[in-house]
Chains A and B, each alone.
Chain A
């Protein structure tokens, strides 16, 4: 038996290594003992193969592995692209340049783990692009408009990337909607010290031959042109349908007075006319009642029991004693109205009634057309059946279901609008009443009617805004009604004053009822408790320098009777309660 000691294990554990040498080859050294095998990972700009397989993740290699690196080679880029905007109104040229880039494997230090990266070995500049090539590319894209290649050519010369506008088309210009303007005489400027003559407001006259109104607006649209030479059609603006009434002649787009009088534009009936003026000294047995289609000017008084009716304004320089004045427009009585009746702006009340139903009708019909547009865009709704039937059944379907309130509005507009908007009423009857709904051939017809309704609504709004005002000196035992404001320059005693707007009584309002949007009085009520009532809406106000006790104040649903004398007060409501503010107003 040998006394020799067993051999000790002298193997040293060393990790293997891998590295890229200066020539771009992969070198591998196997590990010693239980050392780790080296790992190779692919980096950028190279493709790495291990034993013939391309690797995309870290792979263990050994001296026996066949590792091959193929560096990337990016070809040169020199190209142009013509881009047209979706509306073909702009042509652009995009230039793209890039050099040919050859990579090589970057050398690394030996390590147990190496990422093989490519580094630039050589760059070759891109090729040239000639002006001729740009011109050809534009021709291939169909560009026929005049081009400006200056910037592109500079970029080509510098081999610079960029996007350059080279041609522009001409956008279509839609025509303007025609507008209509009354030519009013220039108002005299009012200085601070000047007294304003309220009788002059919004009433003016013209002499024969004077320009009354003009139509303006460039109605014809101008077609455009795409960069490919295609004509873009333009819409013409909407022309105005204006009827010429009494005393007006048309000269091209101008309207000239053929008689002296007061121009009047009725936006609802769309009639322009010059109202003649009837003048008389007084209204009494020598004149009889007056019914005049124009303005009436009375230099003296209107005697008891006589009627003055005018489609325009009524001006009385004297007083009205028990007479009855009815005007389509303003009424001015310089002195007193005693035991009489004065009514201004009767038609406005009818028009307001029409608006009550026409406005929601327009809104609902616009919503309905919008719903149909949405249906057309919905892929789950098909329109094939309408090719046979026309749009009527679809329209009727909406009217009978989602818009079933529409026929009710139509009936109301027809009921209250027959006198004031007869043409629209006729169209509504023909298209939107009863079974006629299903006879609609095309929704374009409905859209045209809705447009017409919207225009008429706007016209009525305009007309209603021009309310008829009443201005009188003093009032006693009378009834004064104005669709616009009512102004009493003196006092109103034992009378009824109604206004669609504001009531202003500079003196005392004593006995009777005043009702309007707001009421301002010098003195309201009396010390002797004469029954006096002031009525406004919920949002209205009642103001007085002197407010006597015993006056009934109605502000919407709030009713109150004053119990003591108050000075400088303004009454309004807040949260259903009466609020009395004190101070100067």
Chain B
């Protein structure tokens, strides 16, 4: 799973450079969990600009991470997604649990 993390003050940006599906979901979760364990931040942004498709395992992994981060008291935002990915996130209700930018 190709993920880049970037810290910008109190904002942690996680850029996903690969589609999020059954093949990449576990590695995505592991990398996010490991990274956020060692840094402090107030807001985390998942940049989904490079995601072409997702499956239910991938969306499930993203939801787990969102809840984990929210559980730590930080805010979560999703950015950069294309219209079709936006529809997927909306239909499953992911956009309702985070603020969309």
Listed in ascending order, the chain A residues whose CB lies under 8 Å from chain B are: 371, 374-375, 378-386, 388-389, 393-394, 397-398, 400-404
Residue B55 contacts which of A383, A398, A402 (CB distance < 8 angstroms)? A383
Residues in chain A near residue B100, CB distance under 8 A: none
A sample of 22 cross-chain residue pairs with beta-carbon separation below 8 angstroms, ordered by A number, consists of A371-B91, A374-B91, A375-B91, A378-B88, A379-B84, A381-B54, A381-B55, A381-B88, A382-B55, A383-B55, A383-B56, A384-B55, A385-B55, A385-B56, A385-B57, A393-B57, A397-B92, A400-B63, A401-B92, A401-B93, A401-B94, A402-B96
Residue of B nearest to A400 (CB): B63
Closest CB in chain A relative to B92 CB, distance in Å: 6
Residues in chain B near residue A386, CB distance under 8 A: 55-56
The 6 closest A-B pairs by CB, nearest first: A402-B93, A401-B93, A380-B84, A385-B22, A394-B56, A382-B55
B 84-101 to A, binary, CB cutoff 8 A, 1 in contact else 0: 110110011110110000
Secondary structure dominating the interface of B: helix
B 74-88 to A, binary, CB cutoff 8 A, 1 in contact else 0: 000000001011011
Q: A229 vs B97: C-alpha distance in the bound complex, in angstroms?
A: 53
Residue of A nearest to B91 (CB): A371
Interface centre among B56, B59, B96 (most CB of A within 10 A): B56
Residue of B nearest to A371 (CB): B91
Q: A431 vs B25: C-alpha distance in the bound complex, in angstroms?
A: 27
Residues of chain B at interface, number, CB under 8 A: 22
Q: A384 vs B82: C-alpha distance in the bound complex, in angstroms?
A: 21
The answer to whether A382 touches B93, judged by C-beta atoms less than 8 angstroms apart, is: no
Residues in chain A near residue B52, CB distance under 8 A: 380
Closest CB in chain A relative to B64 CB, distance in Å: 10
The answer to whether A397 touches B22, judged by C-beta atoms less than 8 angstroms apart, is: no
Residue A398 contacts which of B22, B57, B82, B93 (CB distance < 8 angstroms)? B93
Closest CB in chain A relative to B63 CB, distance in Å: 6
A401 in contact with B97 given A375-B92, A385-B22 (CB within 8 Å)? yes
Q: A371 vs B22: C-alpha distance in the bound complex, in angstroms?
A: 21
**B18 contacts the other chain (CB 8 A):** no
The answer to whether B96 touches A382, judged by C-beta atoms less than 8 angstroms apart, is: no
The answer to whether B60 touches A397, judged by C-beta atoms less than 8 angstroms apart, is: yes
A397 in contact with B87 given A380-B82, A382-B54, A402-B92 (CB within 8 Å)? no
Closest CB in chain B relative to A32 CB, distance in Å: 69
Q: A397 vs B87: C-alpha distance in the bound complex, in angstroms?
A: 15
Residue of A nearest to B51 (CB): A380
**B35 contacts the other chain (CB 8 A):** no
Interface centre among A386, A397, A398 (most CB of B within 10 A): A397
The answer to whether B56 touches A378, judged by C-beta atoms less than 8 angstroms apart, is: no
Interface centre among A384, A389, A401, A402 (most CB of B within 10 A): A401
The B14-63 residues at the A interface (CB cut-off 8 A) are: 21-22, 52-57, 59-60, 63
Residue B21 contacts which of A374, A385, A393, A404 (CB distance < 8 angstroms)? A385
Residue of B nearest to A399 (CB): B93
Listed in ascending order, the chain B residues whose CB lies under 8 Å from chain A are: 21-22, 52-57, 59-60, 63, 82, 84-85, 87-88, 91-94, 96-97
The answer to whether A402 touches B56, judged by C-beta atoms less than 8 angstroms apart, is: no
Residue of A nearest to B94 (CB): A401
A380 in contact with B96 given A375-B91, A385-B22, A397-B63 (CB within 8 Å)? no
Residues in chain B near residue A393, CB distance under 8 A: 56-57, 60
Residues in chain A near residue B85, CB distance under 8 A: 380
Residues in chain B near residue A374, CB distance under 8 A: 87, 91
Residues in chain B near residue A398, CB distance under 8 A: 91-93
Q: A385 vs B92: C-alpha distance in the bound complex, in angstroms?
A: 16
A397 in contact with B96 given A380-B84, A380-B87 (CB within 8 Å)? no
A386-B55, A397-B60 given; name 13 further pairs at CB < 8 Å.
A371-B91, A374-B87, A375-B91, A378-B88, A380-B53, A380-B84, A380-B88, A384-B21, A393-B57, A397-B56, A398-B91, A402-B92, A403-B93
Residues in chain B near residue A378, CB distance under 8 A: 84, 87-88, 91
Closest CB in chain B relative to A389 CB, distance in Å: 8
Residue of A nearest to B55 (CB): A382
Closest CB in chain A relative to B59 CB, distance in Å: 6
Q: A59 vs B94: C-alpha distance in the bound complex, in angstroms?
A: 66
Residues in chain A near residue B56, CB distance under 8 A: 383, 385-386, 393-394, 397
Residues in chain A near residue B91, CB distance under 8 A: 371, 374-375, 378, 398, 402
Interface centre among B82, B88, B94 (most CB of A within 10 A): B88
Q: A331 vs B22: C-alpha distance in the bound complex, in angstroms?
A: 64
Q: A311 vs B21: C-alpha distance in the bound complex, in angstroms?
A: 58
Residue of B nearest to A375 (CB): B91
Q: A493 vs B56: C-alpha distance in the bound complex, in angstroms?
A: 67
Closest CB in chain A relative to B93 CB, distance in Å: 3
Q: A404 vs B63: C-alpha distance in the bound complex, in angstroms?
A: 14
Residues in chain B near residue A383, CB distance under 8 A: 55-56
Q: A248 vs B85: C-alpha distance in the bound complex, in angstroms?
A: 58
Q: A389 vs B56: C-alpha distance in the bound complex, in angstroms?
A: 10
The answer to whether B55 touches A404, judged by C-beta atoms less than 8 angstroms apart, is: no
Q: A457 vs B57: C-alpha distance in the bound complex, in angstroms?
A: 34
Residue of B nearest to A370 (CB): B91
Residues in chain B near residue A379, CB distance under 8 A: 53, 84
The answer to whether B21 touches A375, judged by C-beta atoms less than 8 angstroms apart, is: no
Residue A384 contacts which of B22, B63, B96 (CB distance < 8 angstroms)? B22
Residues in chain A near residue B54, CB distance under 8 A: 380-382
